[in-house]
Amino acid sequence: MEIRAKLSNLRIAPRKVRLVADAIRGKGVKEAQAVLRFTVKKSSLPMEKLLNSAIANAKNNFQTESDNLFISKITVDEGAKYKRWMPRARGSASEIQKKTSHITLILDEVSKSKRKKENAKKTKKAAESIDVAEEIKKTGTAKEIKREWKDVKKMEAPKTGKGMRKFFQRKAI
């Protein structure tokens, strides 16, 4: 079940709003609220209001608890541009674009199957790291493996001229 909230015509450039959106993407609602509260960006306050609006929508329309919600998708799109003019030298003018943003926030409920998948991924990664550690113990120390990698890299390095690498494109050594 998707819970949507949208904010249109926010008078902040989308490039600046995306920095805050990337910080909360995929996080739980409580964690995202904490991040937004302590983010020192102009767009964090409108984003926090939008998140609170989405949480209120979830409680009123779908009777869900905010503890089970996470931000499944957040998009920041470009809105209308207000065009203004700045006088320049010799009677000319240059355009100033005052950009706006449209933010769409989609919350989703964490289901038991998603929790199981996340736990399975974590255990699989842990098992892989244990396998790598065991392989290092069998084959040798980590220093020996690093030495082998250095030898492989030396073999693959491109050589030009008298056995030296080319550092700059414009001149040969």
For residue range 86-129, list pLDDT tens digits in order. 999 999 999 999 999 999 999 999 875 565 666 666 676 666 66
**Is the predicted pLDDT of residue 134 greater than 90, yes or no?**
no
Residues in the chain, total? 173
Helix (H, G, I), strand (E, B) or coil at 62: helix
Q: Average per-residue pLDDT in the chain?
A: 82
pLDDT tens per residue, range 34-63: 999 999 999 999 999 999 999 999 999 999
| CA 166 – CA 159 distance, rounded (Å) | 7
What distance in Å separates the CA atoms of residue 5 and residue 64, rounded to the nearest whole number?
Answer: 15
Q: What's the CA gap between 173 and 158, in Å, rounded? A: 13
pTM of the model: 0.65
Q: Which residues pair with 78 in a beta bridge?
A: 101
Token pair recorded at residue 82: 């207000």
Place of tokens 């409108």: 46
Contacts for 61-66 with beta carbons within 8 Å, 24 or more apart?
A: 61/3, 62/1, 62/3, 64/1, 64/3, 64/109, 66/29, 66/30
In degrees, to the nearest 5, what angle opens at C-alpha 140 toward C-alphas 134 and 142?
Answer: 85
Q: What is the pLDDT of residue 1?
A: 79
Residue 67 is predicted with a pLDDT of 87
Strands of the 69-87 sheet, one edge to the other: 2-10, 93-109, 69-87
Residue among 126, 94, 88, 105 nearest 33 (CA): 105
